[in-house]
Structure formats: C-alpha cells, structure tokens
Amino acid sequence: MNNTEFFLNNLPLFLPLIVLQFGLMVTALIHVLKHPNYRFGNKALWVVVVVLFQIVGPVIYFVFGRGDEE
C-alpha cells in the first residue's frame, strides 16, 4: 500500500482533524492579527507558532499568548 492509498483509505479519520486544524489556525491568526496585546512574544512570533505547529500552536496561543482585551 502506497501513501496515496493509505491516505484515501483513512480519509474519514483525517478529514475531521484537517477541518479542526484549519479552523483553529484561521481563528488564532485572525485574533493574532487584530489584537496588539500579547502576554509573551510579539505578533510575528505568534503567527509563526500558529501556522507551523499544527493544532498545538493555536492552542498554545490561546492559553499562553493571548493578552488582555482592550
């Protein structure tokens, strides 16, 4: 079984994870770009974390990086 067959056979398992990742990433990116306050780091750091670290990056941003709302 090659990689393409493996992916297609397991697509019902991968699809919810893909949708979850994309939704979290878009939500976190919108928040990072709209809000100037962060507990740690700066805007560039959080954009990189959110985009590169799938599922975990957006969660880390919302738990540790998101600053106070103004």
Residue 68 has pLDDT above 80, yes or no: no
Residue 70 has pLDDT above 60, yes or no: no
Q: Determine contact, residues 28/58, Cβ cutoff 8 Å.
A: yes
**CB-based burial label for 27 (10 Å; 0-12, 13-18, 19+):** middle
pLDDT tens-digit series, residues 7-54:
889 989 989 999 999 999 999 999 999 988 888 888 899 999 999 998
- Domain boundaries defined on the chain: 3-65
Residues 6+ apart with CB under 8 A from 62: 28, 31
Q: Determine contact, residues 35/69, Cβ cutoff 8 Å.
A: yes
pTM of the model: 0.76
